[in-house]
Amino acid sequence: MSADRVLVVGEALVDVVRRDNDVVHPGGSPLNVAVGLQRLGVATTLHSSFGADRHGAAIAAHLDASGVSVTPTTIGDHPTSVALATIGSDGAATYTFSIDWRPAPLDVAAGTIDALHVGSIGAALEPGATTVERLLAKLQPTTLISFDPNVRPQLMGSPDAARPRIERIVAVADVVKASDEDLAWLYPDATIPQVMDAWLALGPALVVVTRGGDGAEALTASGAVHVPAPPTQVVDTIGAGDSFMAGLLAALSDRGLLAADRRDALRELPASDIAQIVTFAARCAAITVSRPGADPPTRAHLAEH
């Protein structure tokens, strides 16, 4: 088990998956990242907002089974949010949401965690998004920050409306991961390299863009790196990006880089190390897409593949 203490802040919900039957899977991008990190041996706590109802009980059991801690105010008396996932012929999922994001304010003393991960609906949907930004501002001086915008157009309005907040968070983050679909929606007139260059200039040490079967691109001050996607049989893509994100952070943890006082070392990583880190993340995602729902791998699963 890693000594790193990671706090993940964001939505926890259930994915109701439309296939032969409506199968319910606990989900939400931040929840999936927390589970992925804990399964990879990185000590993780989730601060979220879900109910004590049937769906909330399923989420709580899922988190407990993977060893993820939750903050005391995460479980409340409100209904648990739901995402209806429809799976296309290519395994890709599209979503319809019923969500209310009102997390309790969280008092985290500076220096009590090593890294903070935020993203997706939790970093975009009010009123909770303002709570997230305040926490980022407070913890950024002493905490490594990671961010995955994981855009949900149905909930985020127009790209013009969503872009300023996303860029504010990119500017305080150390590690940013997005998908090519995220960038296409946010910046329809820009290329992937153009956006990656612009984001890196805002302040992160590492920017990564996933491109599905075309692999992933990474950019640091030392240059650009391309990592191919491992061959795999796709069942569905639910949680793939979240598994990649967890793998990315776990690989940084393995190198002792998941802390604010290691920012300079992270910025100075050579391309060969970045390639190894991103390859590990891609392997995590490949295992996840090979099985139904957001089911990220453990270290044992990785050793078997």
Give me the residues paired with residue 206 across strands.
175
- Nearest CA to 152 out of 162, 143, 144 is that of 162
| Average pLDDT value for residue range 87-107 | 83
Report d(CA 92, CA 150) in Å as an integer.
15
What is the sign, positive or negative, of the torsion defined by CA atoms of 42, 180, 145, 228?
positive
pTM for the structure as a whole:
0.93
- Nearest CA to 244 out of 32, 28, 16, 48 is that of 32
Does residue 47 register a pLDDT over 90? Answer: yes
| Average pLDDT value for residue range 79-103 | 82
| pLDDT bracket for residue 289 (50, 70, 90) | confident
What is the sign, positive or negative, of the torsion defined by CA atoms of 148, 215, 68, 258?
negative
| pLDDT bracket for residue 234 (50, 70, 90) | confident
Supply the pLDDT for residue 1.
Answer: 40
Q: Reduced to 3 states, what is the DSSP secondary structure of residue 291? A: coil
| Average pLDDT value for residue range 173-187 | 98
Long-range residue pairs from 223-227, CB within 8 A, at least 24 positions apart, any chain: 223/271, 224/193, 224/196, 225/271, 225/274, 225/275, 225/278, 227/275, 227/278, 227/279, 227/282
Rg (CA), the chain: 17
What are the pLDDT digits (tens) for 108-121? Answer: 987 789 999 999 99
| pLDDT bracket for residue 24 (50, 70, 90) | confident
- Nearest CA to 182 out of 225, 215, 205, 211 is that of 211
Does residue 286 register a pLDDT over 90? Answer: yes
Supply the pLDDT for residue 3.
Answer: 53
| pLDDT bracket for residue 21 (50, 70, 90) | low
Report d(CA 135, CA 139) in Å as an integer.
6
- Nearest CA to 133 out of 188, 161, 173, 88 is that of 173
Neighbour order of strands in the sheet with 22-27: 22-27, 13-18, 81-87, 93-98
Domains of the chain and any CATH numbers: 6-298 (3.40.1190.20)
Supply the pLDDT for residue 19.
Answer: 60
| pLDDT bracket for residue 294 (50, 70, 90) | confident
Does residue 270 register a pLDDT over 80? Answer: yes
| Average pLDDT value for residue range 165-179 | 98
Q: Position 47: which residue type?
A: H
DSSP 103-118: PPP----TTS-SEEEE
- Nearest CA to 153 out of 182, 132, 175, 192 is that of 182
Supply the pLDDT for residue 4.
Answer: 64
Average per-residue pLDDT for the chain = 92
Contact 296, 239 (CB under 8 A): yes
* Percent of residues, the chain, with pLDDT higher than 70: 96
Among the ranges given (19-28, 44-53, 217-226, 291-300), the one the predictor scored with the smallest mean pLDDT = 19-28
Supply the pLDDT for residue 295.
Answer: 87
